[in-house]
């Protein structure tokens, strides 16, 4: 499932980095903290690797 916004893509990248141990988990915030806990590494890779061209910065709910 691809990321729907640039913000979601950035959060997934931060969560993936923490899940792999490259970044301390205490540095995560809000969405990336939740994503790290509840999303698999494979799903995070899919979100983070989405092309950002044409994506909005944020998506309203």
Q: Whole-prediction pTM value?
A: 0.83
CB contact at 8 A, 36 and 15? yes
What are the pLDDT digits (tens) for 4-58? 889 889 999 999 999 999 999 999 998 899 999 999 999 999 988 988 888 888 8
CA distances from 33 to 11, 20, 37, 48 (A): 8, 13, 7, 15
What are the pLDDT digits (tens) for 42-57? 999 998 898 888 888 8
Question: Which tokens is 59 given?
Answer: 């998506």
Q: So what's the pLDDT on residue 53?
A: 85
Q: So what's the pLDDT on residue 61?
A: 64
* Helices 6-19 and 30-38, packing angle to 10 deg: 60
Question: Which tokens is 32 given?
Answer: 């990336």
Of the candidates 42, 57, 54, which has an alpha carbon nearest to the alpha carbon of residue 10? 57
């Amino acid at each position: 499932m691809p990321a729907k916004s640039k913000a979601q893509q950035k959060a997934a990248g931060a969560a993936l980095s923490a899940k792999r141990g490259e970044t301390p988990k205490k540095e995560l915030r809000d969405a990336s903290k939740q994503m790290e806990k509840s999303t698999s590494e494979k799903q995070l890779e899919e979100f983070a690797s989405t092309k950002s061209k044409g994506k909005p910065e944020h998506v309203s709910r």
